[in-house]
Each structure stands twice: as structure tokens, then as C-alpha cells.
Amino acid sequence: MTLFRGSFSTTKHKRLTISLLALLTLSFCAAAVRAQTVDPETRQKVDAAIPAKAPAKPKQPRRMLVFTLNVRDGKPYPGNHPKTVPVANYALEQMGKRTGAYEAVFSNDLNLWRWENLTKFDAICFNNAEGVPTEDPELRRSLLDFVRSGRGFVGFHGGGGASFVQYPRYDQFPEFGEMFGAYEDGGHPWREKDLVTIKVEDPSHPVVAAFGGKSFQIRGQIFQFRHGYSRERLRILLSVDTDKTDMDPKRRFLPERAADKDFGIAWVKRYGRGRVFYNALGHTPEVFQDPKLLQHFLAGIQYALGDLKADDTPSAKLKKR
């Protein structure tokens, strides 16, 4: 099968130059990650929460590119998660090292999205990245083709950010939303201090095995999705339990979400030959200090990498098989 890249040929000189630049970029970014400030007490909490082993044995050494850039109106901005992103990055780095499931590489350099560089990775992770990072059609297509050709996409909280309606509008990069599975719209019915009950939709699914089928409560910013959000397209694994969560209409629910009370929190889906795992939690650093959530995140990452076998049949089609 052709991997969608027929028109992206380069000269040997250009390929060599790009490869050398990529290696320099990776070295710089690794140093930048080590320099990020995560206080000793928080590191201890993360370390204690990291799973002892991965749920699946990697078929081969895996590399995951972690991207955290926030873009609004075409320009980088500090973002909404300055305290969370370093903790999440630390958790992702250490979880990969300790379990041997993958190597995490941290960079916001868009040159790594070029096909010849991106294909050095098995998955790309958007850790609270928000907004459309590039207008370059080649880079956009490279990202989508990367997943479609058999690799993985992982997103945490704002990691679906290129599908955000507010910044940018969903029609600025609609193909991303198709890959990701939905477009966020309507803000956050539940804010950082609100207590929300999360329901395990699919207790037997390996990506949510950590919860043992039991619901749990968490305080955090919760999105609502539309423009493509459908159980006809997504395997919903976690959702808001609206029977046990404050559903005051003053929270400004979207009309369709107020009607169906369907607020997906975590899902998996296919995109071509590739795999997508998303979890809407991750607004606060505490999320990445929770043992069950980290176990769940690791399982989702291994699904996206192609190492953990997991059924990604859309939820609405399960009873129709």
C-alpha cells in the first residue's frame, strides 16, 4: 500500500540537511525537557503512580513525539496549562522509560512534522496542545498521513486543540477533527473546581482495565463536543455520569448534549490504518499523579502505538455485529 507520499521527493542533499537539523533539534529538546521545573514532591508523587509494567510487550522499540505548542490566531501563546504540561511531560517520559513501552521525545519544532522526520516515530502525542499549529498544507497532510498510514495519535485534554471551534474555527482544519473524532465547542460546562463523576462505559475493554469497571470522581475542566462527535464513529470508553453529576442548565450545555446527555471523556478510533486515543482529562497536574489514570493512559498509548490489541469498533455498532 502506498503511504500517501508520492509528491514529497527531495534531493539527497536536502534530506541530509533535514536529518542533521532534526538530530540537533531532538538533542536540544531533550535538554529543554530536563530543564523543565517539576518540584521534588510532585516528582515523587508521579514516580509512585507510574505503573510497574506495561499491559503489552512492545513489538519493537517505540518512539512517541510529544507536542505541547499552543497557537491562537496563527501565533504561539503561553497556553492555559503552564503548571500541568511539565508534570504531564515528566509522567510521559518516566512512564515510557520505566515500563519500556516507548521512548518519549519532546519537541514543538514543526520541522519534525515533515514526512522524512515524522516517520521516525510510531505515534505523536498532543499534550494540551491547542490551536492550529501550521497553515502549511504539506505539514498538515504529513500529520494526517502519518496516522492514516498505520501510526498513532494520542491526545490529552487540550490535545484535541486543533479541532477547537473558538480558536480556531473548526473549518480552518476540518481534516484534523475528522481524524481526531470530534470538534470541541461550547466551552466547559464543568470547571476546574467542579466535582464530576466519570462512568466506565466499557468495563471489559483493556484500555480502561485499570478502573475495574468502577466509576470515579474527579475535579476538572470538562469539554463538550459536537461537529462529528458520534458513537457511530467513536468507541467511547469513559463518559460523564450525568445521573451523578450536577446538570444545572446554567452550565450552558449545547442543545444536542443537553438532549442526549452524552459527554465522552475517553475514546479510541481508527483512522485509515492508524489508531487514535484521546482522554479529555488533564487540565490539572493532579491527573498525572493518579495511579489508575496513568495505567489507563499507558494502555491508551500502547493501543495507539499498535502494541495493545483493543477493539475499536464504534460504540453504536457493537450490538449490530
**What is the pLDDT at residue 96?**
98
3-state secondary structure of 175: helix
* Cα separation, 116 vs 104, whole angstroms: 18
Could you say which residues of the chain have pLDDT below 50? Answer: 1-35, 167-168
* Cα separation, 268 vs 270, whole angstroms: 7
**What is the pLDDT at residue 168?**
47
Q: Are the C-beta atoms of residues 129 and 159 closer than 8 Å to each other?
A: yes
**What is the pLDDT at residue 66?**
97
Classify residue 104 by its DSSP letter. E
Helix 40-49 to helix 291-305 angle (10° resolution) is 70
CA nearest 237: which of 281, 193, 283?
281
Helix residue ranges, H only, 149-279: 174-180, 255-260
Q: Are the C-beta atoms of residues 232 and 265 closer than 8 Å to each other?
A: no
**What is the pLDDT at residue 164?**
61
Q: Which residue has the cell 510532585?
A: 42
Q: Read off the pLDDT of residues 33-47 as tens digits, 9 standing for 90 and up.
A: 443 689 999 999 999
The domain ranges of the chain are: 12-187+222-234+256-320
CA nearest 38: which of 78, 103, 84?
84
Q: Which residue has the cell 500541568?
A: 84
* Cα separation, 267 vs 234, whole angstroms: 6
**What is the pLDDT at residue 141?**
96
Span 12-187+222-234+256-320 CATH architecture = 3-Layer(aba) Sandwich (3.40)
